[in-house]
Structure 1
Amino acid sequence: MEELKEEHLECIKGEYMDTDEDEDEKQWERSKIVFDHFHEYLRNKGLKEKTADERTDLAAFFVMNYVFAYEDRIESISEVSGDIIRKFLGNWYIRKFLTPNMAEIKSFLRAILDFFIFLEKKDFVTEADVEEITEVCKDIPWFEMRLRTYFEVDDVEEFRAWREEYDYIW
């Protein structure tokens, strides 16, 4: 397998936001090696193939379909913060998925945390970065509250307040 380099973690800015199939493919080709290495890391930790596949798929979804598509200021996977994870699972996921649920949120949190621990072991993020991400990923009550309050919204103004409560910009 090709050696993992910083450039594999970078977003192709400008092109990716104006998505077409060629640009998506170009981004995937650049980033796929990161997820291949992550999958291998999970297998080497003793995870079953199915579990490693699921966690890799969730981490790849988070990066490719949210971070690189919606977080304009992010130029590399290594720049992801706890705040971005909160916006993803505490807002975007809840609004965009057909049946958002805590089991899936917990699966995403486990995959994202494993992914950033892997990146730290490869020296792409710092121990402090992983500590921040760990704190967010273990804050299950916050994600439960966000999911619960989303389903309690009764009108447009309440929805706007819920959406903006966590600083989400359309």
Structure 2
Amino acid sequence: MRRPTSKQLIKKFTEYLTIEKKLKSETINKHISIISFFYESYLNQYEEMHLLDVEGFIIEDYLGNWYIRKVSSSNKGEIVEILASFKKFYKFLLNQGYIMHDQYEEILAECKNSKKYYSRFTSYWKIDFDQEEGENSWMTWMMGEEPNEDSFHNLLSSLINSRDVDTAQKDLQEEPISPRTLKFLADFKKFLKYCTTNHEIKVSKRQLTLPRKHLFAINEQLSSPEVLKPYVFQWDANQIHLFYHIGLSLGCILVDDSFSLQTTKRIEQYLTLSPQHQLIICLYCLWEVIPWANLLSPTAGGRPEWSQDGRIILQTALADATVDHPYDYTSYILQYSPNQNFETNFHFSSLYNWGVVPTKILPSLERMGLLMCTFKNPDELKYSSVSTITILKFGKMVFSCYKEFIIDKMKN
């Protein structure tokens, strides 16, 4: 029997899912997209390999190495879907007589080891390439070993000992901290306390997020609880979702190999700091550490990484703003864009008027007590839900103190 091409196999697999399995078109498209990307981007271009020649170690290298490093939008939430598609596809090839049983069993064994790939994603994103230990951790990771925890850059300790952050928080010591900022810090403390007292919360294996019952329980304890829908997802509970990612960034919480949420002694280290220092560290996490794409739904479109790459525009605008003066959001931010024609500046409008900045970043800064926003009627949206933006006195102090630090970090 003449061996079909890889593309012909994908076509046969599509027909199988459609005619025999009668799956929904959305499910079929997901499976085909995963297999097609695996073949076209990795096997064909990188390995020059046929889909029928895949073995277990190829799956391991793809999902545990290449995919993490080369796909900018990759995240741990995709692991389950990718492995499920691999299992279904190679089970189909086995049943059709295209591969042998031993080959299938080897592939299946890799597809059952999701915890290993979660660990690979987690350890990769902990590597700090700006630190001396970064290269050693990178080499260890590339060899397939998990870097020792001591070799990772301790973000919290680094920030506490950072002269730039320390200088910023000392400059702020004389400025009374706003009530809204104190509420934000108190709510983050409540979040950490809840995680500590409710031992080993099981997060979802697909998205590594908190179960709904815990979202509702935490939300009730916050000073300004959000209105949550009955079938809310964590990324829709904006305050909790932000606290969750700040906690992960600081190493105050972590998800272990059994998908249980654990707390660490770094919580105690964080809570010993002054409110000003705590705020600077939380802002740093939002601005520098947390991928902004992680604040959105996994199915959200757009390119939030572009917004984050260009955040110096937003940072400069906020640092330059006059205290308590309401600015028209679009026209004010546009002044800091190289292209002053908003109607034709699609790239700029996609960065600051759609997606992650108006829906996640600005509301987060507002919760921190740094600025205030007013929003348009959703029925009258043209480019953005944000109408005006007003920098508050404490926010002006924070952004002014922090401006040079962030600019220097981005230049480096």
Which range, TM-score by smaller chain?
Answer: 0.7 to 0.9
Aligned partner letter, 2:95: K
TM-score (norm 1): 0.75
Q: Are residues 7 and 46 of structure 1, via their aligned partners in 2, closer, same or farther at CA, if it must alter by over 3 Å?
A: closer
Task: Name whichever of 53-62 and 91-100 sits farther off.
Answer: 91-100
Looking at structure 1, the residues matched to 122 and 103 of structure 2 have their Cα atoms a distance apart, in angstroms, of 28
Once the two structures are superposed, residues 34-89 of structure 1 have per-residue CA deviations (whole angstroms, 9 ceiling, x without a partner) of 211101111221321110111011111111210122225x3x32110111011001
From the superposition, tell whether residues 111 and 5 of structure 1 become closer, same or farther in structure 2 (CA, over 3 Å): farther
Shift of 1:99: 3.3
- Give 5+ residue unaligned stretches, structure 2: 129-133, 146-412
Query: Which deviates more from structure 2 when the two are superposed, residues 138-147 or residues 39-48?
Result: 39-48
The two structures have a TM-score, normalised by structure 2, of 0.32
Q: Is 1:147 equivalent to 2:144 in the alignment?
A: no
Structure exhibiting the larger radius of gyration computed from Cα positions = 2
Residue aligning to 1:41: 16
Return closer, same or farther for 1:148/1:64 CA change in 2, 3 Å cut-off: same
**Structure 2 partner of 1:164:** 143
Q: How far off is 1:115 after superposition?
A: 1.0
For residue 123 of structure 1, give the secondary structure of its aligned residue in structure 2: coil
CA contact 2:79–2:118 (8 Å) conserved in 1 = no
Alignment-derived partner of residue 63 in structure 2: 89
Q: Distance between the aligned counterparts of 2:92 and 2:40, measured in 1? A: 17
Aligned residues: 139
In 1, Cα distance between equivalents of 2:23 and 2:4:
27
Displacement after TM superposition at 1:8 (Å)? 1.4
Q: Does the aligned pair in 1 maintain the 2:52–2:98 contact within 8 Å?
A: yes
SS in 2 for 1:6: coil
Of the structure 1 ranges 141-150 and 37-46, higher mean CA displacement relative to structure 2 is found in 37-46
Give the letter for the 2:144 counterpart.
E
Deviations 1:102-145 (A, max 9, x none): 22122111111111111111111012211111111010111111
2:17·2:28 contact (CA, 8 Å) conserved in 1? yes
Q: Deviations over 1:17-40 (max 9, x none)?
A: xxxxxxxxxxxxxx2x22111011
2:45 corresponds, among 61, 65, 69, to: 69
Cα RMSD over matched residues?
A: 1.8
Q: Which residue of 1 aligns with 2:100?
A: 126
Can you give the 5+ residue segments of structure 1 that lack an aligned partner in the other structure?
10-30
Aligned counterparts of 1:138 and 1:149: Cα–Cα separation in 2 = 20
Distance 1:105 1:79 in 2: 22
- Tell me if 1:60 matches 2:36: yes
- 2:7 corresponds to 1:6: no
1:102 is matched with 76
Q: Distance in 2 between matches of 1:58 and 1:138?
A: 17
The DSSP-based 3-state class of the residue aligned with 2:72 is coil
Give 1:5 deviation, angstroms.
Answer: 4.7
The equivalent residue for 1:50 is 26
Check 1:51–1:5 CA distance in 2 against 1; reply closer, same or farther (3 A cut).
farther
Q: Equivalents in 1 of 2:72, 2:46: separation in Å?
A: 19
Q: Which residue is equivalent to 1:15? A: none
Which of residues 95, 110, 121 in structure 2 aligns to 1:136? 110
Identity %: 29
Distance 1:157 1:137, change over 3 A: same
Displacement over 2 Å in runs of 4+: none
- Cα offsets for 1:131-168 (capped at 9, x unmatched): 111111010111111111101212122112212327xx
Which structure shows the higher helix fraction?
Answer: 1
Structure with the larger strand share: 2
